[in-house]
Every structure is written in structure tokens, then in C-alpha cells.
Structure 1
């Protein structure tokens, strides 16, 4: 897509990633390579041609993705084609459209449509303006694709370290992602670079089609209807900032500036210096050295731009050192010989089709963070409730049934007392049988008495 008109050319990108280098003082985090990760890593680029639900390699990749903590994503034109934005190289792409509508313009490659040298030719400027307006209109009507939503979902699950995009459509912003070219948050003004960089979800490597910039003073403006009509006619409108400055000079009696700037889309063209190259390189270094990324997904790009190839090599090396893998999703081949040991797998399919496949294979992975947090809360509350009920039941058991040991002691005491009473009764009974009563003794005495003297 337009997204990378800039990204799919084989020439050097205006953003030179050769500036990106990891500090020698930074040491990669040590990650234990489990057997599953060792099995998935490859020495040579492995191409997967079909999304087979029984493919063991795909299942292993899915499991690693599900367990990943920090993911870096690099996107290109292919992720926006399903949104209705034309790509660069296909039969319905921008280059073919230019050849049909402007047959009088001689172009050796599609790259010339976005090369800074076109500003030397009035006819090419007219062609450029016409297609930029058409492209802007397509972007305004476009809706984010499944792939864009997948990137936003990674952010929602706190798994997205950063998304680097070669695209200039800015569709990610429609999903609430923070763009590097968007207006700076007032709360971050005056903060360190690290704090500002951490706030970005998507880094636009080649600028943003959603705004216009002056070719002279570089002041940035939003599109409006008047300027859209100018572009549609093949004309680049004059910069109002430059015109106002000239008017003030005229009022002050000063000489006017002859070279008034004109407005063009705020994108980076081939052959010009990238205005944000230093900050992007610094931020990329931070992500590589401190980001602790364990999964790298490349989507919708054929990796033709030399600068992008350098970025991929830098990130892939660090991800591999942390035990992660590098996955490419793209419909066209990239020529695997130069990517052995860097990209582990290339899935030859449409990006949206791969996301749909993932949704079928990993339904829990696509649950929102709010749903997961709610499930964890319910699980925790359920566990606490079970513990509370068990404690209450235990307390009731202690009240109804005294401890076993005191009960056993009491029973023995009662038995001793009972036996003692019976023993005493038995002894008393024996005594009563052995000793005659007082009355019977007296009777015997009377009987045995000798006769009295009276009788004598």
C-alpha cells in the first residue's frame, strides 16, 4: 500500500538504520531456552505454505506466541490492502495506476513516484499531487483491518513492546494507539526522551499522510477542503505561513522572500533526509537493548528497502539471544538465502487470514485484558469464599463435638467411680452376711442362759 511505497523499493530508504546500534555496555537478558523453543528455532528459513491446523510447527509457534511477554511488530503495505488502500507493486497498485493515467510520464520504476527528484519536473509534480489526494481520500474512508486490530489487541494485553510501520496511512490511530507522529501529549512536555518514547505504541518510519508540511519552513498543517481541491487539480497549494511572513515583511517595508514554500504530504521521500532519524534510531536502540522482546512478527512487507533490512537484522539478533523466534507473514516470497538464521519462519498467506487462523486456534489469547482480569478476580473471590466456608464448618464442628482426648479421660474416671461404688457395696454386703445382727445374738444368749436361782 502506500504504506510503503517507500518500503518496497530496493534502494536505500531515507531513514538510515545504519545509525542503529546497541551499546556495548548493554547485556541481553538471560532467558532459559526450553526444549520447546529449541525445537521451534531454525538454522534455515522455513517456509509454511498452508495454514494447516494439524501442522506441528504451526502449533508450536502458536504456543510460543501465547506465552510471549513482549512482542515487536514490523508492518508494511500488505496489512492495509484489505482496507482498500492500494499497494505498490501489484497489478492494481499505484505504479500501474500512474502508467495508465499519465502515459506521457516516463518512469523507470515506481519509486520515482516518491522520489525527491520529482520536484524538478512540473508534470511529475502534478502527477504526484493528484495521486496524493486520491490516496488521502482512500485512507479517510478506510477502516482498520483484522491485522490492525490484532496489533491493538497486543497493546490491550500488555504484550506489545512497539510496532514499527513503514505505512503512512495511520490506521492504527483509529484504534486508539499512540502514534509517534501525533501531537505530543502536554503531560510529556519537558520529560525525558525515554518517557516520551515509552508512550509511543506505533512508530511511523516514513511519516504520516494525515498532515501536510511546507517544503520551505516545514510548518505542519491539517488537510482541508480547499487544499484537497488544489491537489485534485494537480497543484500544490502555497504555504500560508510563508505567505503571512511575506505579508508582514511587506507591511514593514522589507524585501519580500521570492521562494514561498508549498504544501505536500508530511511523508519522507526517497533521497531526502529523515527529519526524525536520530530520535527513531535512539528509540530503536532502547527497544533492542532494554525491551526484553521474546517474539518478533514481520507482517505485510517483502523487505526490499535496505534500511528496513538492517532494522530486521538488529531486532532478530536480540530476540534470538533471548530465546525468542522471528516470524514473517507475507503473501510473496522474500528470497530466503539472505535470511537464514535471522527469520525462522515465513508463512505464505494474507495477514488477515493468519489472524483469523490464530483466533480459531488460540481463543483465550484474544480475550481482552478486562475479561482476563475479571476472570482472575472471580477466581480469587471464589477461592476466598471456599476458605471462609471451610473455616466456618470447622468452627461448628469444634462446638458440637468436644475434643476426643478430654472425653476419653472423663469416661475412664466415670468407670473408676462406678466400679468403686460397686466394690464398696459388695464388701458391705459380705460384712452383713458374716456378722449376725444384734437381735439374733441376744436371742441366742437368752436361750443358752442357765436357770436362775429363783427356780432353784
Structure 2
């Protein structure tokens, strides 16, 4: 494994336009599990079981808002989570002028908390919430404090997290920015994702650079295309690779 970390350090040293594309595995070291690992939701009121994907769908949010927010607050919002070694390593790479963008499927805001400035949040963020009527902004703390469905103090409208739910489309500006960054990159590092969630996973097809690096605990569908594959904990790998640059 040391040899692979040295190889990654060399790639980081020689690259001047790195883009990082990450998924849920980035935040597990910060104590945030992939919401799909939950057992879903059993609603006594509806006498039904719902899968995690159903519980965070647009249809569920509209039809069963109370159950939606019960699941959402318990499984998707982690106010005490802190950036881990991967988030910190990426912020350092950006500070050095090497990393040009982070493209993330995560909604926890930990890349920005670590200091990253250019972050394309494909699926939005739990830190932003807006009234569906008057668009007043609310932070995650307000949502967590409310019992049941959170309502706007100005107009009593329902507040919706700025998170892309199942059945909703991704933001065009965010997608365009992510594609542009990936197209310009000389190195693309993909980490903490099994590359099964589309359309996000399809973004790697825009990469035309020199080094494709995949860091994930398990194999992915893109392993055969990669110049370097590391199956290990990404927080540990990125920390060691950054230390090897100097």
C-alpha cells in the first residue's frame, strides 16, 4: 500500500488542475453513515414500511411531510459532525493552488467547513432550507428545533431543505460548473463512492485528463479505466498522500 500512496503523492505533486469527486464514503469518518444503510422508516400512522429511497423522495415529502421530516432529521442531519482528514487534505490542496474544485454528492457541508472554497454540491445541502412560499432562508438548527413539519415564521409556508430529493432534477448551474471543472482537470480523484447513483456517476465521462485515481473501500465499475486504484479508507489515504508531497 505504501507504494500506491507514493504513487498518489507523485500524481498530486505533478498535477496543477485536480478535481475531486466524492460520495458518502468521504463523511463516514466524520460519523455520518450513508442514509441507505438505515432500515428505512416504519410509519405507525400509515402502517407501512418505506425504504430509505422512498422516505427521501419528492412524492413522500409532499404526501407525508411529518414522516419525511422524522426520517430526514434522524438520518440526514448531523449538526455535530466535523471535517475529517480527507476534507482537510482537500482544503490544503486547494490552498496550494493544485485542487480547482470539489464535486460532491454529500449534503453535509463538511468540505466548506474544512476550508474548501470551490464546491459543487450536486445534491444540495442540509445547511440551507427555504420557505416554499416566500423563500425565506432557515438554517439546519431551526429545522431540528421544530416539532413535526417546520413552518415559516413570516408566512406559515412549509420549509423545504435545499436537498435534491429522489424524483427531482439536479441544479443546471451546479451540473454545468462540475462538468466544466472535470473537463479542464489534468487529474480526477474519485473517492468514497461506488459510482451507482446517476446522473452524478456519469460525470466522470467528461474527464479527458492524464490521471484517473479511484479511492474506495470496495471495487467500482470504473476501476478498469483508472490509472491508480486504492481500496482503503480515504481519510487515511489522503492524509498520508498529502504528507508525501512535501
TM range (shorter): 0.7 to 0.9
What residue in structure 2 maps to residue 355 of structure 1? Answer: 238
- TM-score, with structure 2 as normaliser: 0.87
Structure 1 residue corresponding to 2:150, chosen from 237, 241, 247? 237
Q: Give the CA deviation at 1:70.
A: 1.2
Inter-CA distance 58–142: structure 2 relative to 1 (3 Å threshold): closer
Q: Give the CA deviation at 1:97.
A: 5.9
How many residues in Structure 1 have an aligned counterpart in Structure 2?
246
Q: Does 1:158 align with 2:71?
A: no
Q: Does 1:87 align with 2:4?
A: no
Instruction: Give the strand-richer structure, 1 or 2.
Output: 2
Unaligned runs of 5+ in 1: 1-50, 179-200, 244-260, 365-456
Equivalences for residues 31-110 of structure 1 within 5 A: 51=1, 53=2, 55=3, 59-89=6-36, 93=37, 95-96=38-39, 98=41, 104-107=47-50, 109-110=51-52
1:217–1:242 CA contact under 8 A, matched in 2: yes
Q: Give the CA deviation at 1:116.
A: 0.4
What residue in structure 2 maps to residue 286 of structure 1? Answer: 180
1:75–1:165 CA contact under 8 A, matched in 2: yes
Please give the secondary structure, in 1, of the residue aligned with 2:180: helix
Inter-CA distance 301–313: structure 2 relative to 1 (3 Å threshold): same
1:230-289, CA deviations, whole angstroms, 9 ceiling, x for partnerless residues?
A: 2xx4x212223434xxxxxxxxxxxxxxxxx30122111111233x31x22432353245
Structure 2 residue corresponding to 1:211, chosen from 118, 128, 134? 128
2:123–2:163 CA contact under 8 A, matched in 1: yes
1:18-74, CA deviations, whole angstroms, 9 ceiling, x for partnerless residues?
A: xxxxxxxxxxxxxxxxxxxxxxxxxxxxxxxxx2x2x4x654443222211110000
What residue in structure 2 maps to residue 118 of structure 1? Answer: 60
Q: Give the CA deviation at 1:308.
A: 1.6
1:329–1:351 CA contact under 8 A, matched in 2: yes
- TM-score, with structure 1 as normaliser: 0.49
Unaligned runs of 5+ in 2: none
Q: Give the CA deviation at 1:155.
A: 0.9
Mapped partners of 1:242, 1:63: distance in 2: 56
1:136–1:210 CA contact under 8 A, matched in 2: no
Structure 1 residue corresponding to 2:193, chosen from 297, 301, 305? 301
1:200-247, CA deviations, whole angstroms, 9 ceiling, x for partnerless residues?
A: x1111111101212234444322455x4332xx4x212223434xxxx
Structure 2 residue corresponding to 1:129, chosen from 48, 63, 69? 69
Equivalences for residues 356-435 of structure 1 within 5 A: 356-359=239-242, 362=244, 364=246
Please give the secondary structure, in 1, of the residue aligned with 2:35: coil
Tell me the C-alpha RMSD between the 2 structures: 2.7
Instruction: Give the helix-richer structure, 1 or 2.
Output: 1
1:114–1:269 CA contact under 8 A, matched in 2: yes
What residue in structure 1 maps to residue 212 of structure 2? Answer: 326
Q: Give the CA deviation at 1:128.
A: 2.1
Mapped partners of 1:97, 1:115: distance in 2: 12
